[in-house]
Every structure is written in structure tokens, then in C-alpha cells.
Amino acid sequence: MKFTEYPYERPDLDRFKQEFTSLLKGLEADTLEEQKASVIALNELRSEFDTLQNIVYVRHSINTADAFYKAEQDYFDEIGPIFQEYITEYYKAIVNSRYKKEFEQEWGSQLISLAEISLRTFSPDIIEDMQLENRLSTEYTQLLASAKIMFAGAERTLAQLIPFEQSADRDVRKGAFQARFDFMSAHEAEFDRIYDELVAVRAAMARKLGYPSFVELGYDRMNRTDYNADMVANFRKQVLEHIVPAAGKLKQRQSERLGLDTLKFYDEGLTFNSGNAVPKGDPEWIVANGARMYKELSPETDEFFRFMQDNELMDLLSTSSKQFGGYCTFFDKYKAPFIFSNFNGTSEDIDVLTHEVGHAFQVYSSRSLNVPEYAFPTFEAAEIHSMSMEFFAWPWMNLFFEEDADKYRFNHLAGSLEFVPYGVAVDEFQHFVYSNPEATPQERKQAWREIEQKYLPHRDYDGNSYLEQGGFWHKQAHIFRTPFYYIDYTLAQLCAFQFWKRSNENFAEAWSDYLQLCQAGGSKSFVELVELAGLTSPFKDGCVSSVIGEIESWLNSIDDKAL
């Protein structure tokens, strides 16, 4: 069934509650068979609800101006926390079941771990707080999507500015970035007010649930069962020691390639004077070549990508009123992933076709696990699939970039390395925010600027007052919508670097381990999945240094000035 054919009708919360409560009583039954049957039936009911919620989310994000789906999104923002209360009752039932051990044998210990951590993060006392958090997050998304910026003779969205930000003409680059941050600056008070309210309501939830601060609650909400803030801080320390200097060298090389005395923030988007590598065809051509790539990569990826195309499960073009960014979600009822993006004519279009496809291929590969909690793994593990797929696709980059394929590969690897310091900066900033919830908007921006200068010492804002005063983070949606979801990308990047290294040594063996990782879905914790894939944990001392040398050697072997 095609995505456009998926039926939608607003779920009746009272009917859902009645059915859920009735099925929940089955977890008090005397026999294991009866209790297992109740779990299966409850999961089917959850699948129906989750699928309807995701249909609304996708259709609203495709067109945030659609009044019907905006109203439906508002509805789910309100009832989502109430639904969570029912799920909490389910988790209580399986954790306290006389057959808990048998459940673990049937579905794995990760389900019980996730249930136990979820019980700590929810109480009916915070339902109104969760509803407010949802409303504020949606308000932020709609504010970004509302951008209609006149530039180069036409009205542009934020996504549509990106090609101009990568222009070989420095004045065009500067103008495009100026237009972006003029919009952000004009709405600075709104961004600050939304985030101020988000921090306050999250701190309030932490207090009500008995946490020392939202830091600990935030980690539990991210389902981090096998690492903590101290381990993350040690990882950031490794990044500061090994990757920040390497990224600085790359920025110096970029400045020399571009013939600039000083690399300004609006220069960072251009990697080569001859222009960045861009796809050599239109979106339809890109997708057709993507189909060829995945056909040649493996039988599994061929089957998956044909499924996505046949069922129209990708919405890739940037259009007016479309939500900014990209994502992958999953319609559990139909066992179907969905990819959302904003193609803009840059190499990012190919990154989407590999990154978001990595997510979608994983959830497609593990769709038969039939445990809702296992559809996707925890966030940092999920990003391994996406970032690693980007590297497994390297042999096919000639299809998209033709003679500029090496230019793309150099920029991709260098950019991936340069991203890590930014990623840990976002994480350290969030630790500051939630350890100091009473900080003012101005104090937060000052803290961001200091952290930014620590991890991104090369960044030069050329006197832009909004950015010099610490406003850059306003554009990072994760900070608003999903607190503490960002270190995940950097942890996964270190795992993806290992797959890159291994694929250069033995592609078939590396791919086999990657496929096994995808098939495991979310049935194990992050550290367990890393081990399953034959990778070294990023938390282990020496992990960062074990790959940085290989990456620098490859980059140094390329005559980047000739590209």
C-alpha cells in the first residue's frame, strides 16, 4: 500500500483506554500462554495508535500549513502524554509479572531494561508538563518552517538557502548566511522565550519525578542503560585532545585551498574554489541512481529500496511550508519505513540518500522482531546505521558526482571529522543548561560562545553581533526538541569511522557485520550492539586515537588543491 493510501481517522482515546485496560488484565492471568497473548494483543493495539500518530506527524511536516493535519498534530501533542500513562501501566505489569524471566527469555532483557527505565521517567503528575513541552517543541518547528526569505529574486525557505551558502562567489555565500541569521536574529526573543519555557518545564518534571536535575532524567529519557554523564565527559575529553587539533588543520587546509587569509563562518560551506561536488542530475535522476547503487550493494538493500519506491515512502523535495531538515520514521502497522527530506541540489541530497536510508534499511531489516521497543535501537546506536551507510556507499559515488566523486569523498570524510567537535559542543552546552536551569537566556548564550570557542577555535563570525553573542545554537533543532540527543551522532561517528576503516580492508566482512547489526534492531543496548558489530566502544580509552591516524593519512594522501 502506498503512503498516500494509508487511511487516517483520529483515534478515540476513550475506546483505546477501554481496550487497553481490558487487555492489561490479561497480564494477571495464571498461565504464561495467556500473559504472552495479552502482550501480543497490546502490542497490536499500540501499533495501531503509533501508526496513526506517525501518519499525522509526516503529513504535517510535509505541509505545516495544512490546517487539518496541524489540528491533528495539536491533538496528538495533547494526548501523547496520556497515551504514555497507559504504556507505563503496561511496563509496570510486565516488570511485576510472575513470568518476567520467561518474558526475558522470549523477547530479550532489553525490553525489561527499557520498561524499568521508562517507569522512572513518567508519572501522571507530569502529564500537563509533557503536553506543554510538546506544544513548545511544535511551536519551535513551526517558527523555523515559517521562514519565507527574499533572496536572489525569490522567496526561499531556510533549506533553500543552503545552495547559496555553498556558492563559489563569496559575496553570495555571505549574503545567504546573512539572510539566514537575519531571520534568526529577528526572532531571537521568540527562540529565547520558547527555550526558556522548555528548560523550566523540563526542570519541573525532573523535580516531580525525584531526579537531582533534568540531566539524569534526560539520560533516562534517552534510554541510556549502559553509560552515564561521566563516561560522556571522558569521551568529550578524547575529542578535545585528538580531534579538535585535526579539525583545525583541516580548516587551515580549506583556507589555503580557497586562497583566503582568514576563513570566515560564511566560507565554511565552500570546500573548493572550483565549487563543491554537487549531484549531476535532478532528484528523479538521483533516486534512479540510488536504486542502481542499492541493487549492486546487496540483495537485501535491493529488496528494501524497491519496496520504498513501489510504496512511495520517500518525500524528498523542498517545498513551501515544509518542515526543515530530514528524518526517518516507521509505520509499524504496515512494516514500512518513511524518509523525509528537503533536497536542495547540494551533496546533502546524496547524504540523505545514504544517511536516512541507513535508518530506514535498519528498521526494515528488523521489522520481524515484532516488539515495538525494538523497531529502532536507542538513538546513538541508530546513528551507527545511518552514518556507516554513508561510507558503505562510497564505491558508488561516481554515479552521482561523476568526475567530482573524489572531491565528494574528501569533503565527506573531512566534514565527518570536523563535525565531531561541534557535536560534543552541543552536548556540553546542554549539560550546562540543565545543570543551571535558572540561567538567563543571555547567560546561556554566553556559555554557548565559550564552549564554541573551546571546541571550534577556528570559527570567525566576522563581527556578526547575533552570532558573536552566542545565538548560533538557536538553529539546532535537537536542542529544543530532543534534549541530550546530539552526543549520539558523535558516538556513532566513531563507530562509522571504524566501519569505513574495515570496509577498506575487507568490504564483504564489514558489510556482513553491518547487516547483522541492522537485523538486531533495538534488541540490545548501545554497548552490546557495538560489541555485536565487532566494533570498539567509543567510551574505551584509545578508541578515538585508533581511527584518527588512519583518517588523517587518507586525507593527507589527497592533493586537495588539485580537486
Reported as a single tens digit per residue, the pLDDT across 35-58 is: 999 999 999 999 999 999 999 999
Amino acid 501: pLDDT: 96
Q: Is 62 exposed, middle or buried (0-12, 13-18, 19+ CB in 10 A)?
A: middle
Q: Which amino acid is at 518?
A: C
b/e code 533-559 from CB counts within 10 Å (16+ = b):
bbbbbbbeeebbeebbeebeebbeeee
Distance CA 133, CA 533 (A): 36
Query: Which residues are registered as beta bridge partners of 330?
Result: 337
- Helix (H), strand (E) at residue 390: helix 379-392
Amino acid 447: pLDDT: 98
Amino acid 159: pLDDT: 87
514 close to 391: Cβ distance less than 8 angstroms:
no
Cell numbers found for residue 527: 554497548
CB atoms within 10 A of CB 257: 17
Cell numbers found for residue 557: 594522501
Q: Which amino acid is at 314?
A: M
Cell numbers found for residue 365: 531489516
Distance CA 40, CA 312 (A): 29
Residue in this structure with the C-alpha cell 569533503, named with its chain if needed: 411
Q: How far apart are the first and last CA of the chain?
A: 45
Going by C-alpha positions, the residue among 224, 346, 341 that lies closest to residue 278 is 346
Average pLDDT, stretch 460-469? 96
**What is the band of 320 on the pLDDT scale with cuts at 50, 70, 90?**
confident
387 close to 358: Cβ distance less than 8 angstroms:
yes
Give 327's contacts (C-beta < 8 A, 6+ positions apart). Answer: 61, 339, 340, 356
Distance CA 119, CA 111 (A): 12
119 close to 92: Cβ distance less than 8 angstroms:
yes
Amino acid 520: pLDDT: 98
Distance CA 425, CA 476 (A): 12
φ/ψ of residue 461, rounded to 5: -90, 5
Amino acid 237: pLDDT: 96
Query: Which residues are registered as beta bridge partners of 327?
Result: 340
176 close to 169: Cβ distance less than 8 angstroms:
no
**What is the band of 563 on the pLDDT scale with cuts at 50, 70, 90?**
confident
> Model-level pTM greater than 0.75?
yes
3-state secondary structure of 331: strand
**What is the band of 275 on the pLDDT scale with cuts at 50, 70, 90?**
confident
Radius of gyration of the chain (CA): 23
> What's the pLDDT tens digit per position in 102-157?
999 999 999 999 999 999 999 999 999 999 999 999 999 999 989 999 999 999 99
Amino acid 224: pLDDT: 95
Give 131's contacts (C-beta < 8 A, 6+ positions apart). Answer: 77, 78, 80, 81
201 close to 136: Cβ distance less than 8 angstroms:
yes
Q: Looking at 210-264, list the stretches that DSSP marks H as alpha helix, in order from N- to C-terminal side.
A: 214-221, 229-238, 244-258
Residue in this structure with the C-alpha cell 573548493, named with its chain if needed: 272
Amino acid 483: pLDDT: 97
Residues present in the chain in total: 563
**What is the band of 321 on the pLDDT scale with cuts at 50, 70, 90?**
confident
63 close to 69: Cβ distance less than 8 angstroms:
yes
> What's the pLDDT tens digit per position in 56-80?
999 999 999 999 999 999 999 999 8
For the cut 90, the answer to whether the pLDDT of residue 324 exceeds it is no
Provide the Cα torsion 293, 296, 301, 306; round to 10°: 70
Average pLDDT, stretch 330-336? 98
Distance CA 82, CA 105 (A): 30
Distance CA 169, CA 346 (A): 15
Distance CA 25, CA 7 (A): 30
For the cut 90, the answer to whether the pLDDT of residue 230 exceeds it is yes
**DSSP label of 244:** H
Amino acid 379: pLDDT: 94
Amino acid 493: pLDDT: 98
> What's the pLDDT tens digit per position in 372-412?
999 999 999 999 999 999 999 999 999 999 999 999 999 99
φ/ψ of residue 113, rounded to 5: -60, -45
What average pLDDT is seen over the chain? 96
Amino acid 491: pLDDT: 98
The region, left, alpha or beta by phi > 0 then psi within -120 to 50, assigned to residue 277 is beta
**What is the band of 325 on the pLDDT scale with cuts at 50, 70, 90?**
confident
**What is the band of 171 on the pLDDT scale with cuts at 50, 70, 90?**
very high
Distance CA 276, CA 272 (A): 6
227 close to 527: Cβ distance less than 8 angstroms:
yes
Greatest CA separation for the chain: 77
Average pLDDT, stretch 522-551? 95
Q: Which amino acid is at 38?
A: S
Distance CA 448, CA 453 (A): 9
Amino acid 486: pLDDT: 95
Strands (E) across 513-563 are located at: none
Lowest mean pLDDT among 74-88, 209-223, 503-517: 74-88
**What is the band of 514 on the pLDDT scale with cuts at 50, 70, 90?**
very high
3-state secondary structure of 155: strand
Q: How far is CA 176 from CA 159, 161, 197, 266, 284, in A?
A: 11, 6, 30, 8, 27
For the cut 90, the answer to whether the pLDDT of residue 215 exceeds it is yes
